[in-house]
Structure 1
Amino acid sequence: MALDYDALFLRRHGFDPVAEPLESDFAADAAIVLASLADDGRGEAGGHVVAHSQGAIAAMMAAVERPDLVQSLTLVEPACLSLTAELPATAAHRALMQPLFDVRHNLSDDDFQREFIRRVFAADAPGATTPEALRAARRLRLQAPPWDAPLQIVPGVPTLVLTGGWEPLYEEIAGYLRETGALHRTAPGGHRPQDSIEGDRVIRSFIGEVSRLQHARAS
């Protein structure tokens, strides 16, 4: 999509590829999104925001704070668990993962990563050996649980939720957002449906239609 749009690829707080990972900060993540949408000096501001997994938390928070800057919101497999905390799939996931997050500061990075992957994916994780893998393991341990995010429904911003149709947790979140006004579509690709041909088509079609409607209203 970067061939067709003036695209900015953002890193969340603490996700510098070479710097030491930092504790997660939901507000700082949202501020990064808003800063990227600010006036560029030519009198232009705002844009279409596309976010994946936990990145959807920052995207939603930014849209709530400054809906005037967010022309549309595309949430791919959004980990917005604080919205659905009382629903069955989310409650079950939290019951499984909360005990691990409660002791994360008492575990090594490697031990936390191994247990996280075992609980989420029912798989064994290889030990981290490269500098990149060691940073990724530490970054994972420093992430606050997504159900702690201070989320609210986004008012008046065209929103697409794209899921892979493979995991009840994400379908539950998508269903909740659909009931509050979002458009929900599914595409192949598991946790990364945006990488499939169909997922790419859905996102392009949504952004294109929103842009056409906004330009028509402005003219």
Structure 2
Amino acid sequence: MPPEHVFVHGAGRRGTDAWPRLDAADGDFVSFTPDSAIATQVSELLSTRAHARTLFVAHSIGAVPTVLAAAHLDVAGMVLVEPALYDISRGHPSIERHIAIVTEARALAAAGDVRGFWMMLRPVMFGGSFRPELWDREQALARHWARTALPWGHGVRERMVHGIPTLVVTGGWNDEYEQIAADLTHGGATHEILSGHGHRPQDAPGFRELVSRFAADLRA
């Protein structure tokens, strides 16, 4: 029996909403409780996938609980989409710059300056500068990102994907994610770029076919 596809969302949209190019029948779409801790997400994956062979497809920070859980599950393969596996690439300039900016921005948010937080975070997360005229519209989004889990400090190591067929998909727009992809390829992962959709290459027209080819190669 082929493995079940399990789609693990990032810090934004959840469930099927996070994967607009896919159909509900394509697999099991995880929907973590908003702002849940990484450890809680790992526990959920372990409990729900304990007796099933799985092909994980995980986006952004969703790759963190996926990789941590994979060592304890029957995993046929993984498709990691712009994986936020910062722990495996510590020391690289682009990674350290991002962590430093986010750390400083989160300190502002913790002190009650959510606008200041967003002025720092928006450019590094979404590629566009802060625009005062959009602040009223973006406040809720800023507050969400000010409390979401951070993707580093969880003990993820590149060796954790060794022995698991892994496809890394990036958008080719951000040095951090390209560096993480490069480090994963050192352990045997394959890397594909789907450009034009920034941090969400799963929105590209060819994404579903890419996952299907990867799954077919596993069966072969």
Q: Of 115, 127, 135, which residue of structure 1 is paired with 2:120? A: 115
1:196 alignment partner in structure 2: 204
2:37 aligned with 1:37, yes or no?
no
2:162 aligned with 1:167, yes or no?
no
Q: CA deviation at 1:122?
A: 4.0
1:30–1:62 contact (8 Å) kept in structure 2 = yes
TM-score normalised by length of structure 2:
0.77
Instruction: Map Cα deviations across residues 105-154 of structure 1 (whole Å, 9 max, x no partner).
Output: 22255553443214443422523559xx73x4433111233222221222
Classify the secondary structure of the residue corresponding to 2:46: helix
Q: CA deviation at 1:104?
A: 3.1
RMSD over equivalenced CA pairs, Å:
2.3
- Whole-Å separation in 1 of the counterparts to 2:177 and 2:156: 16
Classify the secondary structure of the residue corresponding to 2:164: coil
2:42–2:68 contact (8 Å) kept in structure 1 = yes
Structure 1: state its 5+ residue gaps: 16-21, 40-44, 214-219
2:23 aligned with 1:2, yes or no?
yes
If you compute each CA radius of gyration, which structure gives the higher value, 1 or 2? Answer: 1
Counterpart AA for 2:32: R
1:62 alignment partner in structure 2: 69
2:104 alignment partner in structure 1: 99
Aligned length: 193
Structure 2: state its 5+ residue gaps: 1-21
TM-score normalised by length of structure 1:
0.77
Q: CA deviation at 1:204?
A: 1.5
Counterpart AA for 1:169: E
Q: Of 32, 45, 54, which residue of structure 2 is paired with 1:12? A: 32
Q: Of 27, 30, 34, which residue of structure 1 is paired with 2:39? A: 27
Write out aligned runs for 1:78-157 (5 A): 78-107=83-112, 109=114, 111-120=116-125, 121-124=127-130, 126-128=134-136, 134=140, 136-152=141-157, 153-157=160-164
Classify the secondary structure of the residue corresponding to 2:80: strand
1:85–1:147 contact (8 Å) kept in structure 2 = no
1:81–1:173 contact (8 Å) kept in structure 2 = yes
Cα distance change of structure 1 residues 209 and 3 upon mapping to structure 2, 3 Å threshold? farther
Cα distance change of structure 1 residues 9 and 109 upon mapping to structure 2, 3 Å threshold? farther
Counterpart AA for 2:84: A
- Whole-Å separation in 2 of the counterparts to 1:109 and 1:49: 34
Counterpart AA for 2:37: D
- Whole-Å separation in 1 of the counterparts to 2:104 and 2:166: 33
- Structure 1 residue runs of 4+, over 4 Å off? 108-111
2:105–2:116 contact (8 Å) kept in structure 1 = no
Cα distance change of structure 1 residues 192 and 67 upon mapping to structure 2, 3 Å threshold? same
